[in-house]
Amino acid sequence: MTFLRPKQEQKPQSNPSSSDKPPDKPSETPPLKNLLQLFQWIILIVLILWSLSIFWSPTQTSVKLPYSTFLDQVRADNVTKVDISGSQIEGSFQTALLWPPVPVTTTATSTISTSTISTSTTSADTTPVANLSTPLATAAANVTSTAQLTATALQSQSLPYMDFSTNFPADLGDSTLLPLLESHNVVVNVSPSSVPWLTLLLTTGLPILLLLFVFGLMGRQMMNQQSNIFGFGNSGARQHVVSNYPEVTFKNVAGADEAKADLSEIVDFLKEPTRYHQLGARMPRGVLLVGAPGTGKTLLARAVAGEAGVPFFNLNGSEFVEMFVGVGASRVRDLFHQAKESGSAIIFIDELDAVGRRRGAGLGNTNDEREQTLNQLLVEMDGFDEHHDLIVMAATNRPDVLDPALLRPGRFDRQVVVSLPDLRGRAEILRIHSTPLPVATDVDLNKLAQATVGMSGADLANLCNEAALGAARQRHSQVTMSDFESAIDKVVLGSERPLVMSEQARRIVAYHEAGHAVVAWLLPEADPVNKVTIIPHGRALGVTEQLPSEEQYNYNRLYLLTRLSVMLGGRTAEEVAIGDITTGAENDLVEATRMTRRMITRWGMSDIGLAAFESDETQPFLGYELSQGRGYSEDTSARIDQTVQKILSERHQSVTQLLTQNRRLLDALAQALLAHETVQQSQLVAILGQRPQSGKSANSPESVKSLVSVE
């Protein structure tokens, strides 16, 4: 089972009730919203103006003076008052002060020039002196004019100030300042030093803001916790409305034709409920999807909702069960309340066995919360109004553990079995999942479908992904058939693991796998051998791979006995060729014993008779058989054990005789495995000859391959 990629286009819903509604009118903006928008704009304009005011430079009315100039003005009785705040001194003048000061021009230049000329005249030669006097006078005149121009420029830049500010030398100190101010009748005002706003913000405001922020977070968390407490009983179901999610229909589902046929009637009922109500028909209240994991039960439920065009409520069964008794029942009530408000809807509960297990079953298996939740679910499903177009769908892969009250008519009236896909379904699923891949021309999807008997849609999707990953790892430009074959080996057998073994250990594994292969090759009723390898895969040291030739859903007794012979072939080959036995046959012996016991106790394939004897493995609840009692005597139990041993001994003797007679083939295949590690089917034909033909072959789709491994 798989699904196609959903298309982006959305089809209009076919619900007649929704088509009769008038189109929605455009919503008008409420006045309150306009007021809020206006208030936001006002705040934004105020913030912008406030930001500009920080950088705006107003007209300066106070001058910054050096401390020495301040003292000179005090001594000149030009200071009327001062305000002292820390090291900052501000005050006012009695007479406006021009700042910066204008330098005083003097006649030093002309004096220097005249003296120079006079001194020069004392020399004996008066003619050169007379000649030098004219340049000196000219230079002096130039300097004088430059000084006058500079003074004029500075005077034009000077401004009168009535207020001033200066800094007191706090580090050096000045004990004469106050006496000087008092002696010149200066009014002195002293105030504490003011802290800058940035320092105040960082030292006082920022911690307060951080505390307010922390308290706000704590309050918000407490409010959330309180809301969670009050909403503890809400279902938390995920609602999927068709108009909001990509549409999934039956076209997106492949490999489940029988299930789609069973669910098409429910789709028709949800589309046209009036036609059924007029005839007095009542749709099944619940549909239980039963199938192996990965077969697409959830996808089928979504496809039903997509076909009918109704809301889809999805919830997992474990989400009902909580530690507190009564919470699950409250969530069930809330879930059905939401679904009923939506009109026609589908409630899908995945993993129903998590909440719907049999009550009072097993030893110490009582759970009050789960039982209360199950009781509420039973009440809700049994209390539907006949005019409520509400259908409950659930999925489980363990229908044997469900409470019988859930399965009675009136609750889950129908059980739809979602089986594993057949050959045609697997080919279609592989075609869907390989569409986005750059597949090479040598890929045969039909052959891959034959090699993947028993795989679900999820397994096939994983197979395509593994093939793409392997192709990328091998630097291939396209996904080839060899990539798919390697992906099948990795999915079924496990990844290859490097393991250093001695020659003796490799020889034991080679004869073990050769024994499985030779027995399966010589017995025509066994599944054909596809590959034999002694390369460790997963937890197995070696693997013999058998591919079913066709799908068959029944086993005959001859086929089961042949499978027992193949399972015992590895252990017997160790006895014949090595002369000793190892622990590598553990998995073979466990599987052979389990199959033999089923042949006796469940299928009536022994001398004990046709009676079926229930075994403990059919009961999933711990201690449940203690209250039920055993349906057969101790003598019958002893006869079952003896018959199991008898059948296994007979198969062992038959396999020993077969391998002894074909020792040459056993040795040849073992030597080929030691030399090449892996032997394919074409090489097996060259080593063992043509395989005997059988009239029929019995194979099961429940097992992908019959794997006989050495652990």
Catalytic residues: 513
CA distance 549 to 181: 119
CA distance 404 to 417: 18
Partners of 707 in beta bridges: 545
Residues sharing a CB contact under 8 Å with residue 377, sequence separation 6 or more, in sequence order? 320, 332, 355, 356, 406
DSSP three-state, residue 496: strand
- Contact of 515 with 659, CB cutoff 8 Å: yes
Q: What is the DSSP string of 517-544?
A: HHHHHH-TTSPPEEEEE-S-BTTBSEEE
**Among candidates 380, 386, 659, which has minimal Cα distance to 519?**
659
CA distance 295 to 29: 50
Secondary structure letter of residue 547 according to DSSP: -
Q: What is the DSSP string of 390-405?
A: EEEEEEES-GGGB-HH
Task: Report angle CA 184, 186, 188 to the nearest 5 degrees.
Answer: 140
State the greatest distance between any 2 C-alpha atoms of the chain, in Å, as a whole number.
Answer: 165
DSSP three-state, residue 705: coil
Secondary structure letter of residue 546 according to DSSP: E
Structure tokens at 358: 């049999």
CA distance 550 to 1: 20
E-strand spans in 181-300?
187-191, 238-240, 286-291
- Contact of 163 with 92, CB cutoff 8 Å: yes
Which amino acid appears at position 188 of this protein? V
